[in-house]
Chains A and B, each alone.
Chain A
Amino acid sequence: MATVSVRDARKNFGSTPILHGVNVEIGDGEFVVLVGPSGCGKSTLLRMIAGLENISGGEIAIGGRVVNTVPPKDRDIAMVFQNYALYPHMTVRENMAFSMKLAKAPREVMEEEVQRAAKILGLDALLDRYPRQLSGGQRQRVAMGRAIVRHPQVFLFDEPLSNLDAKLRVQMRSEIRELQQRLATTTIYVTHDQIEAMTMADQIVVMNAGRIEQAGAPLALYDRPANTFVAGFIGSPAMNLVPGEISDGGFRAQGGALLPLPPATPANVATYGIRPEHLVLAEDGIEARLVVVEPTGSETQVAMRIAETPLVGAFRERITGRPGETIRVKPDLSLVHLFGADGRRL
């Protein structure tokens, strides 16, 4: 177990900068999720921590030791790859024992470690199978087993669930989380799925275009997004971010809607943010025209227009209206997010 510090880490591929000086502090035993859209540099950062990419600038320390020039095998880390990277010509047992075999560990120790990991992951019955004979979820477990047997200081996961179907993904999500809590090993987990990030992380690091947009606890990011990027990225369905300006005693959105403002609003608001679940049905609300109604059972998601401004709402109530009919909604003023012209939170 160890802390991980990333200080002003930079990465260039040729003359193209990929990471523009990233700072992350990861505490001992913490589960940190790097999340962001494709190409934001999150996987590159993970691979730099693993030692699979060299570091163009800044430094990375694991357990207080700067590892910039330490080869991957000496960094005391274990990584689970997106495609699992299981050795196809080795059985599950051989896959898990490979690192120990290379380190010339005694046979009994290898067998003991493999059995222990297999027991934790429920792979006991599959040890003599080849990867081809396993299902996606089982392969995923073998990949984790290969990491566990090494007793690393840090686990690295590179989008480990993206090859699984939706149901299995939810199941493996909690399995990984449970495993991490049991082993209490510092874990860095890369994903583009913000729901994975929200449900698994102690700390989320939201990245975009080679920079960190915001880092913090999942609910802190949800409650107080630092900018429009994080606001739009965290939460599902995504927050309504409506451009416009203050006038007529409210916020005049593009498209014509006049939205109410919380008290003591600064004057330079450029974007009005309200999460779909923070719009409420109210008799004294603003009239909105239904466009699409999507009942999910527990809630109803509604695409609507106020004047010509499109908004999405998510209501606990069951809405039976048809497209073209109107409902009355209003934003919960204590949960409105306001952003300036530079996209930062006001």
Chain B
Amino acid sequence: MSTAAASTAWTKVRQQPSALARLFDNKAFLIVVCLLPAVGLLMTFLTYPLGLGVWLAFTDQTIGRPGVWIGIENFEFLFEDPIFWSAVFYSVFYTAVATVGKFALGLWLALLLNQHLPMKSLLRAIILLPWIVPTVLSAIAFWWIYDPQFSIISWALMEMGLRETPVDFINSPWSARWSLIAANIWRGIPFVAISLLAGLQTISPSLYEAALLDGASPWQRFRHITFPMLMPILAIVMTFSIIFTFTDFQLVYSITRGGPVNSTHLMATLAFQRGIPGGQLGEGAAIAVAMIPFLVFATLFSYFALARRKWQQGESND
């Protein structure tokens, strides 16, 4: 009897799911509902601005005047523009030199921090500082460091009697270019160092011991163990670093605003300069769009460099 009663009650519940419950049981509906917030956010804040930017690049819109479609006229103009080509050159140069510098110093720092040092965690926290500080703040600090009159470096060199006059950091094209690269390297090292340190710590110490017994010198241990084992994480960190450096804006714009005589314009700062203060939205957008091939190239680089190496493949068979 009791079984029968229980089963009737159970059937009852089953017979009467509310309309809302039935709606949520519908898989298609559920998928749409769950995707909606994410898709909405992405469309509003990613796809729309990107699409608008690309569209603007093909119009002659300026601030306060709606533009009309002009095809690739903006790009034709830029193609003839020496300042644009100077920005392209400096973007590539800035990215290449800063990346090499960041990775050389970052790897060196990571290797140091991977040793048994006293107060290791405090040191690691200190290393991270340049990265934590807002870019604009550190840019202002560098602005002062590079100031023609009040530069602390000039002051120190003069006090030590190494120079008679202050150093000219940001008032001639090449010294300004190198000074900005130095600031970017300073800012980028922590990210590289901490990421690579994480990679180093995944390498089993017994591999080094085995290599020690196999007769490997410190350089050979780095060359045959550390470097190949670090390669996967090195590739991903380098891709990120290249993308961030290539699209850098804050540091350059805060310190030199692209000067002197446009020599330190990156593509991003030039795009902003032409588009917002200059009012030529179409032209600025075209410069920004011109960055896309470079970024696609960097992404492809990551795609191929990051492709799992043969030794990482295969089922783990423990």
Instruction: Using CB atoms and an 8 Å cutoff, list the residues of chain A in contact with chain B.
Output: 50-52, 72-73, 77-79, 81-83, 85, 87-90, 98-99, 102-103, 129-136, 146, 150, 163
Partner of A85, one of B206, B215, B229: B206
Report whether B207 and A87 are in contact in the complex, using a CB–CB cutoff of 8 Å. yes
Whether a CB of chain A sits under 8 angstroms from the CB of B140 is no
- Which among A50, A89, A150 has the greatest number of chain B C-beta atoms within 10 A? A89
Q: Do A78 and B204 have beta carbons less than 8 Å apart?
A: no
With A89-B229, A98-B224 known as contacts, the answer to whether A72 contacts B213 (CB < 8 A) is yes
B233 on interface, CB distance cutoff 8 Å: no
Q: Is residue B220 contacting chain A, with contact meaning CB distance below 8 A?
A: yes
Q: Report chain A residues within 8 Å CB of B206.
A: 81-83, 85
Candidate in B220, B224, B312, B313 with the most chain A CB atoms within 10 angstroms: B224
Q: Which of B210-242 touch A at CB < 8 Å?
A: 210-216, 220, 224-225, 228-229
Q: Are A103 and B311 in contact (CB under 8 A)?
A: no
Within B74-106, the residues touching A (CB, 8 Å) are none
Closest-by-CB residue of B relative to A73 is B215
Which residue of B is nearest A134, CB measured?
B317
Partner of B309, one of A51, A79, A89, A133: A89
Which 5 residue pairs across A and B have the least CB separation, nearest first? A73-B215, A99-B214, A85-B210, A85-B206, A133-B314
B305 to chain A: closest CB distance in Å? 15
| Contact indicator A87/B225 (Cβ below 8 Å) | yes
B interface majority secondary structure: helix
B164 contacts A by Cβ under 8 Å:
no
Looking at the assembled complex, report how far the CB atom of B169 sits from the nearest CB atom of chain A, in whole angstroms: 44
* Given A102-B220, A132-B313, A132-B316, A81-B209 contact (CB < 8 Å): yes
**B213 near A103 (CB under 8 angstroms)?**
no
Q: Is the CB of A130 within 8 A of B207?
A: no
Separation of A136 and B224 alpha carbons in the complex (Å): 24
A163 to B318, CA, bound (A): 9
Residues B311 and A90 in contact, CB atoms below 8 Å apart: yes
Instruction: Please measure, in the bound complex, the distance between the C-alpha atom of A52 and the C-alpha atom of B318, giving whole angstroms.
Output: 27
Please report the C-alpha to C-alpha distance between residue A103 and residue B310 in the assembled complex, in whole angstroms.
26
Residues in A whose Cβ lies below 8 Å from that of B311: 88-90, 130-132
Complex Cα distance, B314 from A134, in Å, reads 9
Report the count of interface residues on B (CB-CB < 8 A): 26
23 contacts between A and B (CB under 8 A): A50-B213, A51-B212, A52-B213, A72-B213, A73-B214, A73-B216, A85-B204, A85-B210, A87-B211, A87-B224, A87-B225, A99-B214, A99-B215, A102-B214, A102-B220, A103-B215, A132-B312, A133-B314, A133-B315, A134-B317, A136-B317, A136-B318, A163-B318
**Smallest Cβ distance from A113 to chain B, in angstroms?**
13
Instruction: Give the residues in chain B near A98, CB-CB below 8 Å.
Output: 211, 214, 224
Contact residues in B for A102 (Cβ distance below 8 Å): 214-216, 220
CA distance A130 to B315 in the complex (A): 11
| Minimum CB distance partner of A52 in chain B | B209
Say how far B175's CB is from chain A's closest CB, in angstroms.
43
> Which of A73, A88, A89, A133 sits near B212, CB closer than 8 Å?
A73
Known: A79-B209, A89-B228, A136-B318. 12 other contacts (CB 8 A): A52-B213, A73-B212, A73-B216, A79-B210, A85-B209, A85-B210, A87-B210, A88-B229, A99-B215, A132-B314, A133-B314, A150-B214
Residues of A within 8 A of B210 (CB): 79, 81, 85, 87, 146
Interface centre among A78, A87, A90, A146 (most CB of B within 10 A): A87
A81–B228 CA distance with the chains assembled, in angstroms: 21
Residue pair B314, A130 in contact (C-beta under 8 Å):
yes
What A residues does B318 contact at CB under 8 A? 136, 163
Please give the distance in Å from A138's CB to the nearest CB on chain B.
Answer: 9
For residue A73, which residues in chain B have a CB less than 8 angstroms away from its CB?
A: 212-216
CB distance from A96 to the nearest CB of B (A): 10
Nearest chain B CB to A62 CB, angstrom units: 13
